[in-house]
Structure 1
Amino acid sequence: MLIVGLTGSIGMGKTTTAAMFRARGVPVHDADRAVHELYAGDAVASVESAFPGVAVDGRIDRERLAAQVVGKPEALRRLEAIVHPLVREAEIRFAASAARRGAALAVLDIPLLFETGAADRMAAVIVVTADPATQRDRVLRRAGMSAERFEAMLARQVPDAEKRRRAHFVVDTGRGFAAAERQVDAILRALRFLV
């Protein structure tokens, strides 16, 4: 089974692009969703131990956690040391399940794919992009998002131009939904030659 990584900076349209792959029958593992599940399950005790007061009713309260982590590189590294191995385990279970079901291709949707070194484990990498104005507009429309928070998130990520340079395939979502779908279909045609 071919395992392909899907990534892109915040606001680039990665979630929508992942849904396009799912709609075409490709199994997709969502790292963000895995973290949400971990914050309600396997990671709660470890995260609460490292960051006292962030667990509420048996779940990690993301706002409380953000207050202890955002803008604090050492705290962020401690959190990532807890969460990233658990997400990796979830990816392994997902890939094994997809292979048992006979999938020829699976996509791992990993927001920090390059930042965490996960690109080295992929047969190919797809980067989702859009022009900076579109990205900024999308992100600042999100509830609770500020320009400062957006800039802080961008500062943690490999720049979009570098991601595109390192990608095997690029999906530009700034040209509309139909154009992005055509790009996804072209990628799937190209990947069929690899499986």
Structure 2
Amino acid sequence: MSRPKIIGLTGSIGMGKSTVAAMFERAGIPIFDADAEVRAMQGPRGELIPAIEAAFPGSTGEKGVNREALGKLVFADKEKLARLEAIVHPAVGRKRAQFLEKHANAPLILFDIPLLFEGGGHVQVDHVVVVSAPAEVQRQRVLARPGMAPEKFEHVLGLQTPDAEKRELADYIIDTGVSLEETEEQVRALVETLIAPL
């Protein structure tokens, strides 16, 4: 049985990955957004709330996971972070399997996965697309975000595979250091390239 070809979309913080994912969606490609699934499962009455509260008492409330409280608990503690990931990752895997089933007849689907290389997910996709922009553009974008400080930005960068390395490992690169129209043109051209042989 043939299955859809899978694009793995990734990019470091501030590179414009969400914007590019929306462009793929506009081009008719079904998108699995790992972050959005996690937010839903950790939101009000989300299915992961009981397990997270049991593992990290006081980290949830009626609005779901208190991201700040949970972040303080796990951010600097690798063991606790691993415990949280052991709750979250299998649940995301189940959602991804359901998504694949639902879109089994699509020629092409896209997994939007921020930590594609860090989590080893790049080996499970057919094409790796990295969203990238010049470092100074990335820095400006990130530091313009509310609540973002240079130290926090550096910390996040330290947790991610460097952009240069991602570009080396990519099958395709979408440059977001240009206008939105030019970026969208790159996305449309890539979709045509990937769908043509199918």
TM over 0.5: yes
Q: Cα RMSD between the aligned structures?
A: 1.2
Partner of 1:90: 95
Equivalent in 177, 181, 184 of residue 178 of structure 1: 181
Equivalent in 168, 172, 181 of residue 169 of structure 1: 172
CA distance in 1, matches of 2:134, 2:100: 32
How far off its partner does 1:134 sit? Answer: 0.8
**Gapped runs of 5+ residues in structure 2?**
none
Equivalent in 59, 70, 89 of residue 75 of structure 2: 70
Equivalent in 15, 22, 25 of residue 19 of structure 1: 22
Note the alpha carbon deviations across 1:167-194, whole angstroms, 9 max, x for none: 1110010112111112111211210134
- Please report the TM-score for the alignment, with normalisation by the length of structure 1: 0.95
Partner of 1:35: 38
How far off its partner does 1:58 sit? Answer: 5.7
CA distance in 2, matches of 1:71, 1:130: 28
Equivalent in 97, 116, 129 of residue 119 of structure 2: 116
Equivalent in 183, 188, 192 of residue 189 of structure 1: 192
1:137 aligns with 2:120: no
Which amino acid in the other structure matches residue 88 of structure 2?
Answer: V
The answer on whether the counterparts of 2:176 and 2:183 sit within 8 Å (CA) in structure 1 is yes
How far off its partner does 1:10 sit? Answer: 0.7
1:47 aligns with 2:52: yes
Say which SS state the counterpart of residue 175 (structure 1) adopts.
Answer: coil
Q: Which runs of 4+ in 1 moved over 6 A?
A: none
- Please report the TM-score for the alignment, with normalisation by the length of structure 2: 0.93
Say which SS state the counterpart of residue 142 (structure 1) adopts.
Answer: coil
The answer on whether the counterparts of 2:27 and 2:191 sit within 8 Å (CA) in structure 1 is no
Percent identity, aligned pairs only, is: 45
Partner of 2:161: 158
The answer on whether the counterparts of 1:71 and 1:152 sit within 8 Å (CA) in structure 2 is no
CA distance in 2, matches of 1:105, 1:193: 11
Which amino acid in the other structure matches residue 49 of structure 2?
Answer: V
